[in-house]
Chains A and B, each alone.
Chain A
Amino acid sequence: MSDPMVALWLSETPCAVGLGEKNFEKLASCGWIEHFQPGAFLAREGQKASTFFLIHGGSVALELHDAATGTAMTETLGVGDAVGVSWLVPPHRYHVDVRALEPTDVLVFDGDRLKELMEADADFGFAITRRLLARVYSRLEELRVQRLDLYQPAEGRRP
């Protein structure tokens, strides 16, 4: 049985749309609520990735740190966005730092438990994978555009 507040927050995310009652309940049963203060890290690069997050309120930055050039913010994510697919993909380690930019409320999901449920129930597994894939695809499209460095004059752009 899922936490009623988790179920309420989950129902407000795009991830819940069309999920169906049974799958919704399964997903909700793997989640809990956490709050992060500005500057707090939800995940650190290299750390074992056993969770993923759905942002309910606030926003986070995905960052890569380089000792020579400092910290680069590659993307920010906000309400309704899913953060993290590393829990599903080997080697199951976060590839970026995820830092709260403001007071941020998230649904945190236990990736190990979720994987078990997905493997045991192909319908549930497909429903979750399809949602994550849609989000990953949309971010890939955005990153393709971002990579082109479009706002530079044409001759200064990357090929």
Chain B
Amino acid sequence: MTPARTDPWVPEPISIKRIARESADTATLVLDTSERPGGFAFKPGQFNMLYAFGIGEVPISISGDPSDTGELVHTIRVVGKVTEALTGMAPGSTLGLRGPFGTHWPLEEARGRDVLIVAGGLGLVPLRPAIYEILKNRSAYKRVNIVYGARTPQDILFSNEISEWRGRLDVSLRVTVDSAGSDWFGHVGVVTSLVKLARFDPEATVAMVCGPEIMMRFAVRELETQGIADERIYLSTERNLQCGVGLCGHCQHGNVFVCKDGPVFRYDRLAPFFSKREV
């Protein structure tokens, strides 16, 4: 059995168990962590650095179930050479892994409260582990609302699970797309328009938001309009994450390091510089 690495700078070789295609440019890699002592423990919202040997390393959110420590799941969109290499690997191939890094979604704080999850595009990826946890401990939370926006019906991620969650009587899940043909029977419009339709108690709701930064700005504005205090709004942000341990400074956003102090932040911490173009 290979001992788990403890040096955060050293990538650990890990093999790909299987790969599933999610959409035209997005794939899910399931990594085999069953031989690792204790498997691979992480908290919802955390990310890993994945290394395609000889090509480069990228930060990727963990998208799997935290209670399944024998597998580590990453959903990756092709945006450059490294992600292209990672998604092009075959089952049995080896990649380098460092992590887990960063802060996590406030699932403890959300206990006993309504939960509102707002995801846009690939933003559903780091929120999926939180959804698994919430649904696994469903009675610990009050109303659970999930709103998700995608570009088109073909870009909807995890569509089988979304259908499953939608079928539950104890979850309200709404999906919207930015544009669709007339064969689509769902909602068309921005994801923030779904926030207005969700039923929750703004005084006792914890909101978790992830998506493109502009989408998050509009989402925060809508959440504030609905009466949710900044202290109960959490965002997962994205910057140029490189070292993962707050040393290199590439991910600095205002006075925080996204890799170490984030990626999940309480909104009031980011608010002073969240929409400043200079930061």
Q: Which residues of A contact B (CB under 8 A)?
A: 59, 61, 63, 70-76, 78, 99, 101, 141-142, 145-146, 148-153
Contact = CB atoms under 8 A, between A and B. Distances in A.
B192 interface: yes
Q: Which applies to chain A's interface (DSSP): helix, strand, loop or mixed?
A: mixed
Contact of B189 (A72, A76, A153): A76
A70 B211 CA distance: 30
A96 B81 CA distance: 42
A148 B192 CA distance: 14
Nearest to B176: A76
B190 A151 contact: no
Contact of B120 (A72, A75, A99, A151): A151
B180 interface: yes
Interface residues of B, number: 30
Given A145-B214, A150-B120, A151-B212, A70 B181 contact: yes
Contacts of B193: 142
Contacts of A150: 120-121, 178, 211-212, 214-215
Contacts of A153: 77, 79
A148 B216 CA distance: 13
A148 B178 CA distance: 10
A56 B178 CA distance: 24
B151 interface: yes
B150 interface: yes
Given A75-B188, A153-B79, A70 B178 contact: no
A73 B192 contact: no
B9 interface: no
A15 to B, nearest CB: 15
Given A73-B188, A142-B190, A151 B181 contact: no
B189 A75 contact: yes
Nearest to A62: B188
B182 A146 contact: no
Contacts of B121: 150-151
